[in-house]
Structure 1
Amino acid sequence: MRKNSIKNIRINEEVMRELSNIIRGEIKDPRINPMTSVVAVEVAPDLKTAKAYISVLGDKKSQADTLAGLKSAEGYIRRTLAKNINLRNTPAITFIIDQSIEYGVEMSKKIDEVTKNLKED
């Protein structure tokens, strides 16, 4: 299976949907921030590994705690994922903090600040 094939894209979307359901509803770890969302998932073509990009609303400590909580619950997440999705192999999940939303908000604030300064002149 190629990386950007239709099958791989569908698997990525399905894993992302199930992963967000598991994180939102089934994990009871207090370290995991309730405002955690799965931004994207990239499953390798051989279905052995997956990168899950996670966005956490909060400060750096909250992000680090959430990442630690997800890494400790990785076995449970993988087992639940295997139960919910029928794949040949259940991928080993690597969680990565996604900074794109924060970066977008920061850039939006800078743009607003510049346009405000231009209107004052």
Structure 2
Amino acid sequence: MAMLDWLRSRRVSSSKGAKPNAIVRVTPTPFYAVSIVPGQNACGATQSQSGKRWLSAGAPRLPLPGCNAQSCGCRYAHHADRRSAERRWIDRAAMPQHFDGVERRVMRKRGRRDTDY
């Protein structure tokens, strides 16, 4: 089933120069957050969790345990992943600087045989 959805989303018109009629889907990352938005008659369990954020995989399921509402009107609010760029210094630098000092490593044989380097 997933393969069929994938094939449908990759559909492109065959004529050259035509715009693709592919279905664009944004794949959610595992690092986006959700929070609970209380419904109209929210219970105390939901009110105590209001404003708290969880990673999507770790969020509690709705209705929350201890919910005493007849029908839960609470929902999740989805928050985008705040990470937009690489965090590593080397990824941020245009080109890493090469070392131009004196080489101080001592070259010695690494093995016990004469043929080892």
TM-score normalised to the size of structure 2?
0.29
> Which structure has greater strand proportion?
1
Q: Which has the higher contact order (CA 8 A, sep 6+)?
A: 1
> Which structure has greater helix proportion?
1
TM-score normalised to the size of structure 1?
0.29
Which of the two has higher C-alpha Rg? 2
